[in-house]
Amino acid sequence: MCRIFGIQLAVHVSFLLLLAWFAYVGWREGGMVGAGWSLLLVTAFFGCVVLHELGHSLTAMRYGVRVPRILLMPIGGMAEFDRLPRRPLAEFLITAAGPAVNFALVALLLPFVWTDLWSTEPVPAHGLRDLLLSLAGANAVMGIFNLLPVFPMDGGRILRALLASRLPYLRATYWASLVGRVLALVFAAVAAFEYGNYLLSFLFVFIYFAGDAEYRQVLAREREAAYWAERARLAAMAPGPDDGPPPPPLIYHGRN
Ligand SMILES: [Zn+2]
């Protein structure tokens, strides 16, 4: 695939299914023009997802984090970091940069869609205005949705960063993930039973498990660090062969 700022941009295979689905929906609504427009919209939308991930990635790189890859999947994008800095301010800025990109895109698009936004006349389907209006809406939703305090979504990470400025990192992660899991279940139930949106409901169930998994990962790393610290302490007391700590596992920056 292609590289951008030295970051590999990869597309998951299932992404092709999404393109096919959008082409089909567009075709059903407006024939070949509809299919083309629909493909253009989904491409532009994922272009915005890439910009969101670049917001995270370029900020992270300023803190010396290596970003080997940005992966695009049908449910969104994911920037892979080799590690996350445990400084609350760094994590806050890295996380906030993603949604900030979406709000910046809304601000950029707003002058073009302003009149259509307030007009009662429907925008002609499958045109440029329709495309810009859809993109502005999608970016507003992307920015707001990601700010929901549901760990490990951006909002949940921001919550952890805020908590971590007062609490130890593990405790902060525990509380952020607990709040996130409760909210994920509430949102999943509301999406399913209030709105009949089972796809969204499923997404929140997925986020529930992702939040739980990431808390366990932090817990495991903390225990591992304590173990190696203890070994180092013992080794310092009784000098002997030392095989050194293992490399830290790769941390995924969750769904964005
Ligand atoms: Zn994000």
3-class secondary structure, 240:
coil
| Mean pLDDT score, 8-26 | 89
The dihedral formed by the CA atoms of 64, 65, 68 and 72, expressed in degrees to the nearest 10 = -130
Instruction: Please indicate whether residue 53 is annotated as part of the active site.
Output: yes
CA distance 86 to 93: 12
Measured from the Cβ of residue 162, the count of other Cβ atoms closer than 10 Å reads 16
Report the C-alpha gap between 123 and 216 in whole angstroms. Answer: 49
254 has pLDDT over 80: no
Q: For residues 150 and 124, which has the higher predicted lDDT (pLDDT)?
A: 150
Q: Is the pLDDT of residue 196 over 80?
A: yes
Structure tokens belonging to residue 7: 């970051």
Contact, 162 vs 150, CB < 8 A?
A: no
Question: Position 99: which residue type?
Answer: P
CA of 153 to the centre of ligand 1 (A): 7
Residue at token pair 């998951």? 12
More confident residue, 102 or 130: 102
Across the chain, mean pLDDT equals 89
- Token pair 């929906």 is found at 25
Give ion ligand 1 contacts, CB < 5 A: 98, 154, 256
For residue 143, the CA-to-ligand 1 centroid distance in Å is 8
Average pLDDT over residues 68-79: 89
CA of 194 to the centre of ligand 1 (A): 27
pLDDT computed for residue 144 by the predictor: 96
pTM, to two decimals: 0.84
Residue 190 confidence (pLDDT) above 70: yes
* pLDDT over threshold 90, residue 208: yes
Counting Cα atoms < 13 Å in the Cβ hemisphere of 210 gives 20
Tokens matching residue 144 = 């707001």
Percent of the residues in the chain that have a pLDDT greater than 70, as a whole number: 93
| Cβ atoms of residues 96 and 154 within 8 Å | yes
What is the pairing mode between strands 7-11 and 69-73? parallel
